[in-house]
Amino acid sequence: MIRFEHSVFALPFALLGALLAAQGWPTARQLFWIIVAMVGGRSAAMAFNRIADLHYDKLNPRTAARELPMGQLSLAFATAFTIVSAAVLVLAAWQLNPLALKLSPVAVAVLFLYSYTKRFTTLTHWVLGFCLGMAPAGAWIAVRGTLDWEILPLVLAVLCWVAGFDIIYACQDVEFDRRVRLFSLPARIGIGGALWVARGLHVVMLGLLVWLAHLAGLGALAYGGLAVVGALLAYEHSLVEPDDLSQVNAAFFTVNGYISVLLLVFWGADILT
């Protein structure tokens, strides 16, 4: 139900936020508890999402084979797993600093809220983006003990990136979402229009990263990483057409995994050198 590759989206941005906050290497203790917090938060959010969407997952042919609809995992187990994972996040925040601990219930509440947004707003994709955008902000707080505006461009960049690729992913379920009255953007404006919104969000993401690189005084390695990310985004969008969604999973999982990891590698190298 919770797969390793799901961590690839947000964890590199959390680590990047930590590197930016420390202007180099955070302490080993900070890195350890940041990773623990990320695993706990990711696991709690995904397990809760599976619980909240169980009714719809049973009805949707694409998701009917998931573990909960198939009965391979019990609802009681998933609930207990969610509670323990959320507790792990709070424990990690407690180990980091007072502000992290104070904000950890807010983070959990936002993560859980996302699972219901598709029932009443097409902004659901942006809410998911904010959930992952909290990762670099949380890592910044973990290192500095304060929440400062300098991390905002990275938060917004992650928000736009995730909202964009989630819109692409949601194109698979247009007919189902319309039938059961779920508020995805593709269901509301059509696949063609939704793909243009996703392209626009990814252009804004690149602009925000350029702004952040300038603010942080980063050099050639960082801008080289941005060029790689731009090329990968262009490739991602080339895989998906309104009348051909056969490559959505490749665009969603594979390309975006490379984007987050490679940005961390390029920007991390720039910061550390």
pLDDT (tens digit, 9 = 90+) per residue, 13-53? 999 999 999 999 999 999 999 999 999 999 999 999 999 99
Number of domains in the chain: 1
Residue type, 141: I
Angle subtended at Cα 230 by Cα 271 and Cα 250, rounded to the nearest 5 degrees: 110
pLDDT band for position 55 (50/70/90)? very high
Which pLDDT value is given to residue 13?
96
Tell me how crowded residue 272 is: count the other CB atoms within 10 A of its CB.
11
CATH number for the domain that contains residue 12: 1.10.357.140
Range 152-174 average pLDDT: 97
Range 244-269 average pLDDT: 90
241 CB contacts (<8 Å, ≥6 apart)? 195
Note the helical H segments in the chain.
7-22, 28-52, 54-59, 67-70, 75-96, 98-117, 124-144, 152-170, 174-180, 185-189, 191-215, 220-238, 248-249, 256-272
Q: Cα(157)–Cα(121) distance, rounded to whole angstroms?
A: 21
- The DSSP secondary-structure symbol of 253 reads I
Residue 6 has pLDDT above 70, yes or no: no
**pLDDT by residue (tens digit) across 188-225?**
999 999 999 999 999 999 999 999 999 999 999 999 99
- Select from 33, 25, 74, 28 the least CA-distant residue to 51: 74
Which pLDDT value is given to residue 4?
65
Tell me how crowded residue 231 is: count the other CB atoms within 10 A of its CB.
11
Q: Cα(148)–Cα(199) distance, rounded to whole angstroms?
A: 29
Q: Please give the residue range of the domain that contains residue 67.
A: 4-272
Mean pLDDT, all residues of the chain: 95
- Comparison of pLDDT for 222 and 1, the residue scoring more: 222
Buried b / exposed e over 178-192, threshold 16 CB at 10 Å, is eeeebbbbbbeeebe
Q: Cα(126)–Cα(164) distance, rounded to whole angstroms?
A: 8
Contact (Cβ atoms closer than 8 angstroms) between residue 105 and residue 90: yes
Percent of the chain whose pLDDT exceeds 70: 98
Would you mind telling me the total number of residues written for the chain in this entry?
273
Query: Rounded to two decimals, what is the model's pTM?
Result: 0.95
**pLDDT by residue (tens digit) across 109-129?**
999 999 999 999 999 999 999
Tell me how crowded residue 215 is: count the other CB atoms within 10 A of its CB.
15
